[in-house]
Amino acid sequence: MYKFKTLIEPFKIKSMEPIQLNSYEHRKKVLKEARLNLFLVPAKEVIIDLLTDSGTGAMSADQWAALMKGDESYSGSESFYRFQKSVQDITGMPYVLPTHQGRSAERILFHTLPLKGEYVVSNTLFDTTRANAEDLGFKVLDMPCSEFYQAQSEFGFKGNINLLSLEKVLHHKSVACVVLTITNNSAGGQPVSMENIKSTSILCKKYNVPLVLDACRFAENTYFIKTREKGYRDQSPLEISRKIFDQVDLCFVSAKKDGLAHIGGFICLRNEQWSEECKKRLLISEGFPTYGGLAGRDLEAIALGLKEALNESYLQYRISSVEYLHGNLRKIGIPLVLPAGGHAVYIDAKAALPSIPVSAYPAQSFSVGLYEFSGVRTCEIGSVMFGKELENGEPVFHNQELVRLALPRRVYTFSHLDYVCEAVEAFMKEKASSLRGVRIVHAPPVLRHFSAHFEWL
Ligand code: F0G
């Protein structure tokens, strides 16, 4: 049978949202008003928005139709039972608690579980997870596998946790829980292999430490296992997902990613006692446990979205579109985290802008400069997000300076991605060498990337 080479989006556009084009001069003004912080730029001033893949996806016609079935009863809503069944079918876990988004699930878990130990250990925690763990008094240890630090390595599971370091820490330190983030967002959107998940589970059982999954991109991780790991090619994404969830004690999920919804999250547990404890806190901060801060219609959207995210042709398109952008940027010599991740392409800003020292925030400079040049909004994942200022005013820098180009699900076409690629190429040729970096003029102590102010040097 003839095999087509052209990639197409496996959907048609039923309802379109116009993009407002704008000029370089206009963006310069916008950026100045936003104090060189892309989180403070109004969305209408953005031509292609790759700030995040979270809550920014396009819902399907079936999801929009399901909104009308939303049962808005305060307790025992029909929508909750449909949501619960969908989550149970995928995770195999009996206790399901909705939350208004991922970070509230994190907070409830860290606050409520009887975690005995000082450290939360992870392949890499996402920034809100880290902030919640630290805020509640835990110390955080990130230990991605050694391949992750080899920028040029094409190892297919760079999101893995370093098992040797994990065992050492479990042996010598008092560990409250181990969190595996799939895919590993802060470490290049790289997947975690089934083998690594299973080995982590064995170690956690040996040391009697709970294994928690941050599973917001579980479907994308599943597709990588299917296509890259031996023995899974003939299994469906749903079957592989179940095998992942089977390894862990509990999970928290932001439904704004592979839930294909605009808002929402949930916690799943196997332990009834823990579930009851979490429910008590849920009542205080989120709402009754059958809605958890969400409208019935949101629960309907998530119930369907989770299933659509496991559709094989959707996943093939999803991962291929990230690979398409990655491959085209690589062809024109842009330094990238290798290989392509599941939801985003990560530019290595230290290598792209070698004349800007880390103290002048190369990734922030790149993302701000690229927006000004092209209207493409990206996200800094470097020393602004993960660095800090010590009490004596001394800055601490992160070991990586990445610019994340996160692709919203089912939103942009391949021609939008061509525009992004051209934007990066032209920016590198015409603008990059004139940049001197930025300095921080104002920053709050926690999650400073959301609201810090900067100036060009
Ligand atoms: N865990 C991971 C791995 C995430 O990527 C996020 C959010 C969360 C937890 C928190 O979920 O936003 O629903 O509260 N990531 C978004 C991003 C914000 O841009 O990567 P949330």
266 lines ligand 1 (CB under 6 A): no
Contact 62, 303 (CB under 8 A): no
3-state SS assignment for residue 120? strand
Q: How far apart are the first and last CA of the chain?
A: 58
**129 CB under 6 A from ligand 1?**
yes
Note whether 387 and 395 are within 8 A (CB): yes
Task: Count CB atoms within 10 A of the CB of residue 6.
Answer: 5
Per-10-residue mean pLDDT of the chain, 457 residues long, equals 90 94 97 97 98 97 97 97 98 98 95 92 94 92 93 92 97 96 90 98 97 98 97 98 98 98 98 96 94 97 98 96 97 96 96 96 97 97 90 88 97 97 97 94 87 95
Q: Ligand 1: which atom is nearest the Cα of residue 255?
A: 13
Q: Give the CA diameter of the chain.
A: 68
> Structure pTM?
0.95
Kindly give the interhelix angle for 102-112 and 272-285, rounded to the nearest 10 degrees.
Answer: 120
For residue 265 and ligand 1, the question of a CB distance below 6 A is answered with: yes
According to DSSP, the β-strands at 119-122 and 175-181 are parallel
- Of 249, 268, 241, 256, the closest CA to residue 85 belongs to 268
Closest CA relative to residue 101, chosen from 275, 257, 307, 279: 257
Strands 395-396 and 388-389: antiparallel
Q: 214: Cβ below 6 Å to ligand 1?
A: yes
Residue nearest (by alpha carbon) to ligand 1 atom 2: 126
Establish whether residue 124 lines the binding site of ligand 1, counting it when its CB lies within 6 angstroms of any ligand atom: no
Interatomic CA distance for residues 75 and 88, integer angstroms: 19
Q: What pLDDT was estimated at residue 83?
A: 98
Supply the angle between the helices 362-374 and 24-33 in degrees, to the nearest 10. 140
Distance from the alpha carbon of residue 231 to the mean position of ligand 1, in angstroms: 30
332-351 CB burial, b ≥16 within 10 A, e <16: eebbbbbbbbbbbbbbbbbe
Query: What's the pLDDT at 378?
Result: 98
Amino acid at site 253 = V
Where does residue 347 fall: left (phi above 0), alpha (psi -120 to 50 degrees), or beta otherwise?
Answer: beta
What backbone torsions phi and psi does residue 152 show, to the nearest 5 degrees?
A: -90, -5
Which of 257, 286, 345, 404 is the pocket-test mutation for ligand 1 (most atoms within 8 Å of CB)?
257
The two three-digit tokens of residue 75, written as one number: 């307790």
Angle in degrees, CA 294, 299, 300, rounded to 5? 145
